[in-house]
Amino acid sequence: MNDVETTTPGGARTVHAAGVSIKDLRKAYGSNEVLKGINLDVQPGEVVCLIGPSGSGKSTLLRCVNLLEQPNQGTIHVGGFEATDPDVDIDKMRRKVGMVFQQFNLFPHLDVLRNCTVAQTKVLKRSQEESDKIAQANLERVGLGHLAKRFPDQLSGGQQQRVAIARALSMNPELMLFDEPTSALDPETVGDVLAVMRKLAREGMTMLVVTHEMAFAREVADRVVFMDGGVVVEEGVAEQVIGNPQQPRTQEFLRRVLDPTHIEVEED
Amino acid sequence: MAMTARQRAKVSLYVQAGIFVVAIAALLLATDWKTISANVFNFGKIGPMFPGIFTVGLLNTLIYTALGFIVGLSGGLLLALMKLSSFPLYRWIATGYIEFFRGIPALLVFIAFGYGVPLAFGVQWPIFVVVMVSLGMVAAAYIAETLRAGLQAVPKGQLEAARSLGMPQWRAMVTIIIPQAFKIVLPPLTNEIILLTKDSSLIYVLGLTASQYELTKFGRDGISSLGAGLTPLLVAGAFYLVVTIPLSLLARKFESRSARTKR
């Protein structure tokens, strides 16, 4: 994939964005085949949401992109790197790929600012001063500049997740991966995290997002990919896949997710 | 006559108290208090132990313990990392070492390095090196298991987050995992120091010069030279408690603190 420079509508911020190209990706745990030949391209600056029932393999697919899971077969290209090349410099590749986890995974022994600077100083060899400046700017970007000196356990879930986003952004990634970023959050803090992600999308960041937030996917995603049973069942423009799904399995899934009476049953 | 549960509990309490009173009374009557006070609590005669037991005995016990702990902690960390390594040979070596040194008496190790090595190889190490090696090698085996448990108690997501930021494995361990594991193992590690403090007494079996005496050796010498019976040992024991009880309280404080921060 080629890297391109994309600009915001206002032209204010420039993001160096990378694309992703996944070909015939297979992953199995023992005899349990989780990904059964996935093909997926994400253009630089594109926002793609992965949706589907739990166990459909969408998180595994996402985790394969930065090699938190080792694929068994197929190729993945990220920016200028071939992730599936056995000789790839994983650490160098991962610097360009920001990852946001469902459980935030902030470093509890470091304050918010240090969470955002530790990889800058240790991996990118930036000076502490420069790292602080970049971290502070990214904390402002997610609306938490005033909490820099707090520790993670003093923050709400939504605030922790926004710090996690700022931490990833501080590495100047060209691609951001989100693994169910709002699934562990109290409902009232979900909106803040989604707002940050929406802003990021507008700024031209390439984003691959595993999510259950259909409204968000519909509004923000350029493309939505529906997965079930380890395969891509349907993909296309967000409005079409969510608003007017063609495949029966997609229709069934969306009916269950969007039907409020069904949600009540599931919450029991 | 049937009793209620409450009445039965009351009766049980009286019976226990009664047995206690009788036992104590019998002990008091049967004891030869003159002999006891002359041989156990004869504090009038222990003057010569001071100030040496402070400036030499306690000091050396603390130094020996610290030396053993430094070697034990570094060795233990190395062994713990080996035990968690993906390279099987490292795991086997670490497991073998840990099982060996936890399975044999520490005294054997002291004799090996204090008498065995000098005789076999003709090298005479200074006493502090013998302590460092003997105490350290045994401590490393115990500390390794403690640290391994601590490292494994750090959530997997922490390593994933660190690696996702581009940190190599070693960097993630040093900067992210080990500091967190250290916090987790602080209480058990403090308990290790207590055990080490007591095990440092094993050096007593080696020939020590006066300036190398530690608490136990002081107590042992006092028995022969002071004519106060067990009293010198009682004093030496009290000095150990001065060290171990605060450590024990400290361990409990660490424990309650980490319990509080855990949600």
In chain A, residues with a C-beta closer than 8 Å to the C-beta of B161 are 99, 101, 105-107, 164
Q: Report pLDDT digits (tens) over A131-188.
A: 999 999 999 999 999 999 999 999 999 999 999 999 999 999 999 999 999 999 999 9
Over chain B, what is the mean pLDDT? 92
In whole angstroms, give the CA distance from residue B255 to residue B239: 25
Give the nearest chain B residue to A152 (CA atoms): B261
B160 in contact with chain A, both atoms CB, cutoff 8 A: yes
ipTM: 0.90
CB A65 within 8 A of CB A20: yes
Token reading at A120: 């800058």
Phi-psi region at A79: left, alpha or beta (left = phi > 0; alpha = psi -120 to 50): left
In whole angstroms, give the CA distance from residue A190 to residue A138: 19
In chain B, residues with a C-beta closer than 8 Å to the C-beta of A164 are 161
| Mean pLDDT of the region A91-107 | 96
Q: Are strands A81-82 and A4-7 parallel, antiparallel or unpaired?
A: unpaired
| Mean pLDDT of the region A210-237 | 95
* Of the listed ranges A136-140, A144-148, A234-238, B49-53, the one predicted with least confidence: B49-53
Q: How confident is the model at residue A7 (pLDDT cuts 50, 70, 90)?
A: very low
Helix (H, G, I), strand (E, B) or coil at A4: strand
In whole angstroms, give the CA distance from residue B231 to residue B220: 10
Give the nearest chain A residue to B179 (CA atoms): A109
User: Would the CB atoms of A119 and B160 count as touching at under 8 Å?
Assistant: no
Residues 96 through 155 of chain B touching chain A, CB cutoff 8 Å: 155
DSSP designation for A246: -
Q: Which of the pair, A17 or A65, is modelled with greater confidence?
A: A65
User: Would the CB atoms of A109 and B180 count as touching at under 8 Å?
Assistant: yes
The CA radius of gyration of chain B, in Å to the nearest whole number, is 25
User: Is pLDDT at A15 greater than 70 in this prediction?
Assistant: no
Nearest by CB to residue A68, choosing from B160, B166, B261, is: B160
Q: Report pLDDT digits (tens) over B56-76.
A: 999 999 999 999 999 999 999
Nearest by CB to residue B175, choosing from A105, A122, A168, is: A122
Q: Report pLDDT digits (tens) over B109-166.
A: 999 999 999 999 998 889 999 999 999 999 999 999 999 999 999 999 999 999 999 9
B164 in contact with chain A, both atoms CB, cutoff 8 A: yes
Give residue B44's pLDDT: 86
User: Is pLDDT at A88 greater than 60 in this prediction?
Assistant: yes
User: What beta strand segments (E) does chain A contain?
Assistant: 4-7, 14-17, 20-29, 32-42, 47-51, 73-78, 81-82, 97-100, 175-179, 206-210, 223-228, 231-237
pTM of the complete model: 0.81
Token reading at A165: 């986003």
Q: How confident is the model at residue A8 (pLDDT cuts 50, 70, 90)?
A: very low
Q: What percent of chain B is modeled with pLDDT above 70?
A: 98
In chain B, residues with a C-beta closer than 8 Å to the C-beta of A98 are 164
In chain A, residues with a C-beta closer than 8 Å to the C-beta of B261 are 153
Determine phi and psi for A186, rounding to 5 degrees: -65, 145
Helix (H, G, I), strand (E, B) or coil at A183: coil
User: Would the CB atoms of B157 and A101 count as touching at under 8 Å?
Assistant: yes
B11 in contact with chain A, both atoms CB, cutoff 8 A: no
In whole angstroms, give the CA distance from residue B228 to residue A15: 84
Residue in A33, A79, A87 with CA at minimum distance from that of residue A60: A33
Interface size A-B, in CB pairs within 8 Å, comes to 63
Token reading at A108: 């509890």
The number of C-alpha atoms within 13 Å of A196 and in the hemisphere containing its C-beta is: 27
In chain A, residues with a C-beta closer than 8 Å to the C-beta of B166 are 91-92, 94-95, 119, 123-124, 171
B179 in contact with chain A, both atoms CB, cutoff 8 A: yes
